[in-house]
Amino acid sequence: WGGLEVPLGGRVGKQSCCFRVKNVLVKLMINLLICFSSQTFDKILIANRGEIACRVIKTCKKMGIQTVAVHSDVDSSAVHVKMADEAVCVGSAPTSKSYLNMDAIMDAIRVTGAQAVHPGYGFLSENKDFAKRLAAEGVTFIGPDTHAILAMGDKIESKLIAKAAKVNTIPGFDGVVKTAEEAVKIAQDIGYPVMIKASAGGGGKGMRIAWNDEETREGFRFSSQEAESSFGDDRLLIEKYIDNPRHIEIQVLADKHGNALWLNERECSIQRRNQKVVEEAPSTFLDQDTRQAMGEQAVQLAKAVQYSSAGTVEFLVDSKKNFYFLEMNTRLQVEHPITECITGLDLVEQMIRVAKGYRLQHKQEDIPINGWAIESRIYAEDPYKSFGLPSIGRLSEYQEPLNLKNVSVRVDSGIEEGSDISIYYDPMISKLVTYGATRGEALARMEDALDNYVIRGVTHNISLLREIITHPRFISGDISTNFLPEVYPDGFKGHQLEAGKRRELLASAAALYVTVQLRSQKVLSPTPVERSHWELCVQLGEGCYAVEVVKSGNVYNVEVDGGTVEVSGQWNLASPLLPLSINGTQRMLQVNANTYTHNLGFFGVLSKLAAQLNSYMPEKVPEDTSSILRSPMPGTVVAMSVKPGDTVAEGQEICVIEAMKMQNSLTAVKQAKVKSVQCKPGETVGEGDLLVELE
């Protein structure tokens, strides 16, 4: 009882104004009782930023726990800082100086008197030293105990433990690698293809696949460099690479009293560069037996390391439903919301309770699979460049698809209109989760939500996400981790319109053009004469389509491409979302141009005459891109392999750009002599900046 006095007092004080009304008082007492029954901490510090910090703060608020945000100087007006009750600046923008700066974070804990720390994911979430330092100061780490982090944090040791716990492991599993030649030898022993990654790294970071000796050497070099820059630990792991695998993971939840549950699976096979893009729960692939077998093995592993808190056991599943242990993530996963959707549990709340020492509230048979949940990761990146190269910028306009007024759409984000997506941090904008009774319903909602998502100011990957979730292979559940390269062998080129859809798009563009043109007449003084018949040309890709529009009221009958389309709608031209009805079907149209005017033929629409005359216009000579190398994304130059006067062969590496902790090697597209080098290692470059000129 004594220990509970402070938080109780806090609550009473806050709500004392309500005491006048009797039933409010009763309600309050009930509140207090609930509060008492699961009393945890008074104040939690969240050692993270962005959406996950916001996500944790939300649950803390629900549980009546005070929150402390930490932030770097550039994040001082970030959303998580505004949401938290207190905020402490822990250093400058680079993560090593702020979010990874343990000294500053420990100071922040002391200053604010936080009793526990939630690390989120990434940063210090799987850092055993941090957990140790917290323990030494008597602060609770909301996550597993140090020994579990230690055991599972090392890829090699974790597999040994898994093997011992009778968990299926990947064949060809081997030890630490020190040199490139050693790497090649190991790879040859296992047999190609092999996978190379940093021992200490989580997720797909630092993971490369090699099909021959040469690629093994290259993979070794990159992975060790990345391992060094991301984790300060250059140990590597090489193992048999399973072709055409699915990535399916099991969420586990364990307490400090030896109880552990598996909360079903998450299908995370849709990945690009080994990072997840679209996840769903449950998986279309697993049957109940496999699910149970995987779940039970996951729990065995958790118990083997006396795991407590939420954790994830990742498996690779082959086409015959054989599953192999990949690794265990001893933290909350990015994609945890889909598990929450189908099980009804709040994982952050459970983590906090477990950290306080409570027993699990649920038994295995209480864990349901209710409905279906899909998560799309909205990234600030250009999907047309290897399925997503980071992009940066300021969100000049940002509107989450909450206008759908549908409780089944959840957006976890840590940014708002005006926020900066900087080169310092992960380029994720948000996690968009939709939920439905069936998979079809969840997918339909996802499509709607993506169409209604407004993001301006940075390049984003919504076009790719929408393409994935509407792809027949995805819909049928026929996916693997190779889905993207298989479906788009030449890279993602944007949505390919079939004739019917193209007609609809052309018609919508024409109808909108007419609206914009007519609006230009609506100046106060003269009375406009509304023209009802328009002959236009719409340019789409390489084609130019003749269109005839007959407008009556808000209905536009558009003759295009050998068919007639009826478009109707009354549009607010200031809104980024333009709802319209095409042949009676409701659609949402977004116009990406910054403005309706000042571009040659808004939306590619020109009057028939202008299109005719446009054919006389000279073509502007494009820049010869074969002899110049421009930065494909904003980042830092980490290595420059050439100097002026050098001769480079086609495909030879010219320089390496690091962005968001990813190293990208830029190569020559032809054999040539280097004319000039415009940047130095260590320099920050923007997208499109000139790096090297060839002769």
Partner 1 sequence: MAAFSVARRSRGLINGLKVSFRSSGQLKHGAVAAPLLQTSLHRDSRWYSAGHLSVKERIEAKRRAALAGGGQARIDAQHKRGKLTARERIDLLLDTDSFVETDMFVEHRCSDFGMEQDKNKVTHLPEVIFYFFNIIFCLCLFCFSQDFTVFGGSLSGAHAQKICKIMDQAMKVGAPVIGLNDSGGARIQEGVESLAGYADIFLRNVMASGVIPQISLIMGPCAGGAVYSPALTDFTFMVKDTSYLFITGPDVVKSVTNEDVTQEELGGAKTHTSVSGVAHHAFENDVDALLNLREFFTFLPLSNQDPAPIRECHDPSDRLVRSLETIVPLESTKAYDMLEIIKAIVDEKDFFEIMPNYAKNIVVGFARMNGRTVGIVGNQPKVASGCLDINSSVKGARFVRFCDAFNIPIITFVDVPGFLPGTAQEYGGIIRHGAKLLFAFAEATVPKITIITRKAYGGAYDVMSSKHLRGDVNYAWPTAEVAVMGAKGAVQIIFRGKDNQAEAEAEYVEKFANPFPAAVRGFVDDIIEPSTTRKLICSNLEVLARKKQVNPWKKHANIPL
Give the residue numbers marked as catalytic.
327
Q: Is 479 helix (H, G, I), strand (E, B) or coil?
A: coil
* Residues that contact partner 1, how many (by CB under 8 A): 48
The minimum distance between CB 592 and partner 1, in angstroms, equals 12
The minimum distance between CB 116 and partner 1, in angstroms, equals 30
Report the C-alpha gap between 531 and 325 in whole angstroms.
68
The minimum distance between CB 335 and partner 1, in angstroms, equals 29
The minimum distance between CB 458 and partner 1, in angstroms, equals 13
Report the C-alpha gap between 418 and 457 in whole angstroms.
9
Q: Is-contact 537 605, C-beta < 8 A?
A: yes
Closer residue to partner 1, CB minimum distance, 407 or 524 = 524
How many other β-carbons are positioned within 10 Å of the β-carbon of residue 676?
Answer: 14
Dihedral of alpha carbons 586, 587, 588, 592, sign: negative
Given candidates 594, 626, 671, 684, which one binds partner 1 under the rule CB under 8 A? 594
The length of the chain is 695
Closer residue to partner 1, CB minimum distance, 29 or 593 = 593
Angle, CA 576 vertex, CA 572 and CA 582 arms, to 5°: 70
Given candidates 163, 359, 473, 519, which one binds partner 1 under the rule CB under 8 A? 519
Which amino acid, one-letter code, is at 157? E
> Is residue 420 involved in binding partner 1 (CB under 8 A)?
yes
The minimum distance between CB 155 and partner 1, in angstroms, equals 40
Closer residue to partner 1, CB minimum distance, 17 or 617 = 617
DSSP annotation string for 223-290: HHHHHHHHHS---EEEEEPPSS-EEEEEEEEE-TTS-EEEEEEEEEEEEETTEEEEEEES-SS--HHH
The minimum distance between CB 688 and partner 1, in angstroms, equals 17
> Is residue 523 involved in binding partner 1 (CB under 8 A)?
yes
The minimum distance between CB 521 and partner 1, in angstroms, equals 5
The count of C-alpha atoms lying within 13 angstroms of the C-alpha of 284, restricted to the half-sphere facing its C-beta, is: 15
Q: Whose structure tokens read 């893009």?
A: 277
> Taking contact as CB under 8 A, which single stretch among the options 339-347, 571-579, 635-643, 666-674 is the one that binds partner 1?
571-579
Given candidates 1, 22, 529, 624, which one binds partner 1 under the rule CB under 8 A? 529
> Is residue 522 involved in binding partner 1 (CB under 8 A)?
yes
> Is residue 526 involved in binding partner 1 (CB under 8 A)?
yes
> Is residue 622 involved in binding partner 1 (CB under 8 A)?
no
Residues 597-616 that bind partner 1 (CB under 8 A): 597-598, 600-601, 606-607, 609-610, 613-614, 616
Report the C-alpha gap between 659 and 363 in whole angstroms.
44
- For 641-685, where are the E strands, in sequence order? 647-648, 653-659, 662-667, 672-677, 684-685
Report the C-alpha gap between 479 and 486 in whole angstroms.
10
Residues 358-417 that bind partner 1 (CB under 8 A): 394-398, 416-417
Given candidates 17, 524, 625, 680, which one binds partner 1 under the rule CB under 8 A? 524
> Is residue 647 involved in binding partner 1 (CB under 8 A)?
no
Closer residue to partner 1, CB minimum distance, 76 or 188 = 76
Report the C-alpha gap between 511 and 2 in whole angstroms.
71
Report the C-alpha gap between 227 and 13 in whole angstroms.
50
Which amino acid, one-letter code, is at 314? E
Q: Enumerate binding residues for partner 1 (CB under 8 A).
A: 73, 76-77, 394-398, 416-420, 517, 519-529, 531, 571-575, 594-598, 600-601, 606-607, 609-610, 613-614, 616-618, 620
